[in-house]
Chain A
Amino acid sequence: MAVVLILVLLVVGSLLFHVLSPWWWTPIASNWTYIDSTLVVTFWITGIVFVAVVLFMAYCVYRFRHKPGNKAAYEPENRRLEWLLASGTAVGVAAMLAPGLIVWNQFVTVPDEAQPLEVVAQQWLWSFRLPGVDGKLGRSDTRDITSENPLGLNRNDAAGLDDVIVEGGELHLPVGKPVRVLLRSIDVVHDFYVPEFRAKMDMIPGMVTYFWLTPTRTGTFDILCAELCGVGHPQMRGTVVVDEAADYQTWLDQQQTFNQLLASGEQQPAN
């Protein structure tokens, strides 16, 4: 009897915890509300299955627990019931997978008007690069990295000279404009993670990975590293500020371009 009661309480307790507990996702700040919706659909379907299975089990224990003289039924198979349950499960799975794949298709299809933004990770620092007036990012290579050229830009690529470089500082983004986030690492695997954006992606040294998003509200958000990158992993923090267009432009005008960075490096030769 205690077993039945505890199984029922476990179901009720889990549901109450789900509804009443204060721990839930952060208010979203990007266009990926579809991800949240798919999550909610998944919660409903899986929640119903969980409640049904555990309560059914509790009922079986209540109804068919051993009493003297009891004898179990003998029923090796029931093809009809088994196929029915399998088909029902397949339908439930499809109901989660279909919207999931549709949203994934949006996730991997970057809109043409998305502006590029490069995030460069190293142990344990975030840097950023934005295209200059030409709207293009110049070429880069880990082999080109020096103390004056921390992101390894190619000095002979004209497209890179006007690139805006933010080394270790805050990142600003204009609200409502889609961004194609290009991710690069110069040492180990990192992961660019802003909980409010929902999207995240690993950054692999030797290749450029990407995702896209449109920031949908202004505010200041934490950037965290979400892939174990050594002992400083939890300290690898950054800040992204989503601005109105005018504020964004003001910030952008204050940043250094690659050209300016090289010039200042030449004025102060290394000791």
Chain B
Amino acid sequence: MVEIPSGSADAVPTAEVEDVELYHPKSWWTKYVFSQDAKIIAVQYSVTAISIGLVALVLSWLMRLQLAFPGYFAFIDANHYYQFITMHGMIMVIYLLTALFLGGFGNYLIPLMLGARDMVFPYANMLSYWIYLLAVLILVAGFFVPGGPTGAGWTLYPPQAVLSGTPGGSDWGILLMLFSLIVFIIGFTMGGLNYVVTVLQGRARGMTLMRMPLTVWGIFTATVMALLAFPALFVACVMMLFDRLLGTSFFMPAIVEMGEQLQHGGGSPILFQHLFWFFGHPEVYIVALPAFGIVSDLISTHARKNIFGYRMMVWAIVVIGALSFIVWAHHMYVSGMNPAFGFFFATTTLIIAVPTAIKVYNWVLTLWRGDIHLTLPMLFALAFIVTFVNGGLTGLFLGNVVVDVPLSDTLFVVAHFHMVMGVAPILVIFGAIYHWYPKVTGRMLDDVLGHIHFWITFLGTYAIFFPMHYLGLLGMPRRYHELGDTVFVPPSANTLNIFITVMALVVGAAQIVFLLNLVWSLFKGREAGGNPWRATTLEWQTPQTPPAHGNWGKDLPVVYRWAYDYSVPGAADDFIPQTQPASGGVTREVVA
């Protein structure tokens, strides 16, 4: 820590640029529908993502019912089961988590937290949402075409993804899935470039990179990663489309399907796996890094204490983002790739545990000697830490190549990734919604409904996924619509499966409480005021709540300090907004 005498930590002068000329809407349509305001676009992204996420939630109920009571529900046959798991996985990872963190939180928070009037390319930003909506509609269309959606698993491994033994493989299902992904990536690229350029070029005077809140650091790094990773998925989708429609053989070797020689030859199925995971592993962190950033700010604000080790936190985000591009083949330890790769990828994978652990330490050390307000955002942040630590630690099993061998493709993997990139980021999303809803709507979410929602969601998801690891350890494979008779699985395992299913139904039902809260509080919630959490960051210092188009009044804010001046010794309040000049009292500042 470097102490600087007061007065010398003034705003860093930046070049004077003219204020951006925004397109102001002239009609209801251009204000609320085809809006170019990042805040409206953020709400559009969020509502769409949560809506499609509810479809994924219902699908998870159906697959859990089948796993607990195989054969009992006649309408869930094997075809449907595989379609449900595929759509559930794809929706949750891409169309909910990626879209909500980057399109939702990114759009809302980047301009506001950085003191910008809007994204730098508002028109492209608007297009980004509408193209995303188109991708969602194409995805949903899969449910209504002959043969139904694809049942290839969310990893879409060829050759089975494009053959008739898989639901949708020789029908429309796989085509719509590939089209939808391609469209999604086009839309995301428009939004993503916007977020990156806005962070680099749109910051207010004095907002240096090392004064940015960690939320922005997380979303920014994740967006850069997504711009680098999604092209790999894009080309993989295009190549698979060619294989399926034009008879090329990028991923198709010589194949005898059900006794018949196919007209393919020379392709490599494992090439697809490399392309998919070159996207797929960074994707885990594309979801995780915004969650890391947001949860840092939730903890700091609600513990009334600066985030511990800010610089280390920033570098940890950047290092994790970089390392995540050289670990992808840890998803492929038993794929049949050259086993020598195992040494390299196990080493890089376990190295990534170090910056990740640093983040966890710094979160809990922020609590140390804090003034912890157990608000709903703080509760969700605590639940996130528990869930993330649990899921992160099981990653050390699966990342350590030889330990992965018995566990790979079992329910252990399902439990691990649901903990670490399913439940953990979603807990942050909930915490973030309870935190920022007052800024978006001007009203607080209801506390009682919030507590019901919190406890059922936190403890329920833990009860679902913690025991599931042990079914995987037992050897129960994933992606089985029914286990059938085995020598090695005891009958008691089915009892556990029923328990997990009951918990899944309960947790799902608790989300209805959350939705009710969102709607009820919109009209009846307590008035929030401009800064209900007494937070330092810029979005809480807007002249209006909810902020008007253009965010700030006549003048853009000027930033004088980092985002974490909580409980500064000598200050009158336990927070000092970033816009407050360094005059009077002692100001301590971390110098980048």
Contact = CB atoms under 8 A, between A and B. Distances in A.
Nearest to A58: B382
Nearest to B357: A89
B257 A187 contact: yes
Interface string A51-80: 001101100110011100011111111100
B255 A42 contact: no
B339 A107 contact: yes
B440 interface: no
B586 to A, nearest CB: 10
B428 interface: no
Contacts of B248: none
Contacts of A56: 364
A209 interface: yes
A101 B344 CA distance: 10
Nearest to B338: A108
B146 interface: no
B326 to A, nearest CB: 16
A64 B386 contact: no
Contact of B335 (A22, A85, A204): A204
Interface stretch (B42-50, B228-236, B306-314, B550-558): B306-314
A230 B371 CA distance: 55
Contact of B374 (A66, A147, A232): A66
Interface residues of A, number: 100
Given A38-B400, A233-B480, A53 B165 contact: no
B255 A230 contact: no
A89 B357 CA distance: 7
Which of A56, A60, A188, A207 has the most B CB atoms < 10 Å from its CB?
A: A188
A147 B367 CA distance: 69
Contacts of A198: 405-406
Interface of chain A: mostly helix, strand, loop or mixed: mixed
What 6 pairs across the A-B complex have the smallest Cβ distances?
A206-B253, A195-B475, A230-B165, A209-B336, A188-B160, A46-B393
Interface of B: 1, 78-79, 82, 151-153, 155, 157-160, 163, 165-167, 169, 253-259, 261, 265-270, 303-306, 308-312, 334-336, 339-340, 342-343, 346-347, 350-351, 353-354, 357-358, 360-362, 364-365, 367-374, 379, 382, 385-386, 389-390, 393-394, 396-397, 400-403, 405-406, 408-410, 459, 462, 466-467, 470-471, 473-475, 477, 479-484, 486-488, 490, 492-493, 496, 564, 566-569, 574, 588, 590
Interface of A: 3, 6-7, 10, 14, 17, 21-26, 32, 34-35, 38-39, 42, 45-46, 49-50, 53-54, 56-57, 60-61, 64-66, 70-78, 81-82, 85-86, 89-90, 93, 96-97, 100-101, 103-105, 107-108, 122-123, 141-143, 145, 147, 152, 183, 186-189, 191, 193, 195-196, 198-207, 209, 220-222, 224-235, 237
28 contacts: A23-B496, A39-B403, A45-B396, A60-B368, A70-B371, A72-B369, A74-B305, A74-B566, A74-B569, A76-B1, A77-B309, A101-B347, A143-B261, A188-B165, A189-B159, A191-B334, A195-B406, A195-B474, A200-B334, A200-B405, A200-B408, A204-B269, A205-B253, A205-B254, A222-B486, A225-B477, A228-B157, A228-B160
